Structure 1
Amino acid sequence: MPSANRRSNTRLAVAAAAVTLALVGGFFLWRFIAEAGMAQQPWFSGYADVTVDPPYDLAGTGMPDSRNVTLAFVVADSSQPCAPSWGNAYSLDAARDALNLEQRISELKSDGGAIAVSFGGSVNTELAVACQDPVQLQAAYRSVVERYSPSTIDFDIEGDALLNGPAGERRAEAVAALQKEKDGWGGGLDVWLTLPASPRGLTDDGIAVVDQMLAAGVDLAGVNIMTMNYGSSRGPSQSMLDAAVAAADSTHDQLSISYQRVGTNLSSQEIWSKMGLTPMIGVNDLPGEVFGLDAAGGLNSYALQKGIQRVSMWSLNRDRECTAAAADGQASHVCSGVQQEPGQFAKALAAGFEGKLR
Structure 2
Amino acid sequence: MRLHRSIRALLAGGAALATSVGLTVMGGTAAHAVTPAATPLPQHVFAPYFEAWTGQSPAALASQSGAKYLTMAFIQTASKGTCTPYWNGDTGMPVSSAQFGADIATIRAAGGDVIPSFGGYTADNTGTELADSCTDVNAIASAFESVITTYGISRIDLDVEDNSLTNTAGIDRRNKAIKLVEDWATANGRSIQFSYTLPTTTGGLADSGLDVLKNAVQNNARIDVVNIMTFDYYDNASHNMGNDTQNAATGLYNQLAKLDPGRTAAQLWGSIGVTDMLGIDDFGAAETFTVADAGNVYDWAVGKGINTLSFWALQRDNGGCVGTAGSDSCSGISQNTWDFTHVFEPFSGGGSGPGPVTDDFSVSASPAAGSVPPGSSLRSSIATAVTAGSAQPVALSVSGAPAGVTAAVSPGSVNAGGSATLNISTTSAAAPGTYPLTVTGSATSGSHSTTYTLTVTGSGGGAKSLANGGLESGSLSPWTCQSGGAVVTTPVHSGSYALSAAAGPSRTGECDQTVTLAPNTNYTLTGWVQGNYAYLGVNGGATASTWASASGWTKLTVPFTTGANGTVTVYLHGWYGQGDVYGDDFSIA
TM-score using structure 1 length: 0.80
Residue in structure 2 matched with residue 333 of structure 1 by the alignment: 328
Residue 284 (structure 2) pairs with residue 287 (structure 1): yes
Matched with 2:302 is 304
Identify the residue that residue 168 of structure 2 maps to in structure 1.
Answer: 165
Partner of 1:26: none
C-alpha change, 1:35 and 1:104, in structure 2 (3 Å) is closer
TM-aligned CA distance change 1:34 to 1:153, over 3 Å: closer
Q: Secondary structure at the match of 1:93?
A: coil
Call closer, same or farther: CA 1:274–1:94 in 2, change over 3 Å: closer
Per-residue CA deviations over 1:14-53 (Å, capped at 9, x if unaligned) read xxxxxxxxxxxxxxxxxx99959x7883111111111124
**Quick check: 2:62–2:69 contact (8 Å CA) kept in 1?**
no
The verdict on how the C-alpha distance between 1:91 and 1:171 changes in structure 2, with shifts beyond 3 A counting, is farther
Given candidates 51, 54, 74, the residue that maps to 1:52 is 54
Which of 331, 342, 348 aligns to 1:347? It is 342
Specify the code of the residue in structure 2 equivalent to 1:104.
D
User: Aligned partner of 1:112: which letter?
Assistant: G
Q: Deviations over 1:291-340 (max 9, x none)?
A: 11001111111111111111111111211221x446xx232111112222
Question: How many angstroms apart in 2 are the aligned matches of 1:73 and 1:33?
Answer: 23
Pair 53,155 (structure 1): closer, same or farther in 2 beyond 3 Å: same
Query: 1:254-292, CA deviations, whole angstroms, 9 ceiling, x for partnerless residues?
Result: 1111224xxxx1122221111011101112011222111
Superposed displacement of residue 240, structure 1: 1.0
Offset, 1:157 = 0.6
Q: Whole-Å Cα distance in 1 between the matches of residues 103 and 14 of structure 2?
A: 33
CA deviation after TM superposition for structure 1 residue 143, in Å: 1.7
Give the Cα–Cα distance (whole angstroms) in 1 for the partners of residues 256 and 73 of structure 2.
25
Task: Give the aligned partner of residue 202 of structure 1.
Answer: 205
Higher strand share: 2
Question: Given residue 64 of structure 1, which amino acid in structure 2 is its aligned partner?
Answer: G
Matches within 5 A, 1:155-234: 155-232=158-235
Shift of 1:345: 0.7
- Give the SS at the match of 2:94: helix
The question of 1:135 aligning with 2:109 is answered: no
Give the match for residue 71 of structure 1: 72
Higher helix content, 1 or 2: 1
- Aligned counterparts of 2:169 and 2:231: Cα–Cα separation in 1: 27
Q: Greater CA deviation, 340-349 or 247-256? A: 340-349
Residue ranges of structure 1 left out of the alignment (5+ in a row):
1-31
- Cα separation, 2, equivalents of 1:345 and 1:156: 22
| 1:88-124 Cα shifts (integer Å, max 9, x gaps) | 2245438765xx5222112222222211111111112
Q: Which has the higher contact order (CA 8 A, sep 6+)?
A: 1
Tell which structure's C-alpha radius of gyration is larger.
2
2:259 paired residue number: 258
1:108-127, aligned counterparts within 5 Å? 108-124=107-123, 125-127=128-130
Cα deviation digits, residues 172-205 of structure 1 (max 9, x gap): 0001110111122112101111111111210101
SS in 2 for 1:313: strand
Q: Residues 155, 33 of structure 1: CA spacing in aligned structure 2 closer, same or farther, 3 A cutoff? A: closer
Query: 2:87, 2:94 within 8 Å by CA — same for their partners in 1?
Result: no
> Is 2:229–2:276's contact at 8 Å kept on the other side of the alignment?
yes
Q: Does the Cα contact within 8 Å between 1:84 and 1:140 map onto a contact in 2?
A: yes
Residue aligning to 1:21 = none
Task: Give 2:85's aligned residue.
Answer: 84
| Distance in 2, Cα, partners of 1:294 & 1:243 | 14
Q: How many residues align?
A: 312
Assess, with a 3 A threshold, how the Cα gap between structure 1 residues 33 and 210 changes in structure 2: closer, same or farther.
closer
Asked whether the 8 Å contact 2:59–2:106 carries over to 1, the reply is no
Q: Is the 8 A contact 1:56 1:316 kept in 2?
A: no
Residues 79, 209 of structure 1: alpha-carbon distance in 2 compared, 3 angstrom cutoff? closer
Equivalent residue number for residue 23 of structure 1: none
Q: What 5-or-longer segments of structure 2 have no aligned partner?
A: 1-12, 18-39, 352-589
Distance in 2, matches of 1:114 and 1:58, equals 13
Q: Distance in 1 between matches of 2:73 and 2:196?
A: 14
Letter in 1 for 2:134: C
> How far does residue 229 in structure 1 lie from its aligned partner after superposition?
0.7
The equivalent residue for 1:274 is 271
Distance 1:283 1:91 in 2: 33
Secondary structure (helix, strand or coil) at the match of 1:198 reads coil
Return the alpha-carbon distance in structure 2 between the equivalents of residues 286 and 226 of structure 1.
13
* Contact 1:182–1:189 (CA under 8 A) maintained in structure 2: yes
Q: Which moved more, 1:242-251 or 1:86-95?
A: 86-95
**What root-mean-square deviation, in Å, do the aligned CA atoms of Structure 1 and Structure 2 show?**
2.6
Relative to structure 1, the CA distance from residue 80 to residue 95 in structure 2 (aligned partners, 3 Å threshold; closer, same or farther) is farther
Q: Equivalences for 1:94-109 in 2 at 5 Å?
A: 100-109=99-108
- Is this contact kept in 2: 1:86–1:95, CA < 8 A? no
Report the CA distance between 1:130 and its aligned residue. 0.5
Secondary structure of 2:64's match?
A: coil
Distance of aligned partners of 1:225 and 1:62 in 2 relative to their CA distance in 1, 3 Å threshold = same
Structure 1 residues 69-99: Cα deviation after superposition (integer angstroms, max 9, x where no partner): 11111112216610101122245438765xx
1:51 partner letter: W
Q: Tell me if structure 2 keeps the 8 A contact 1:76–1:130.
A: yes
Fraction of identical pairs, as percent: 27
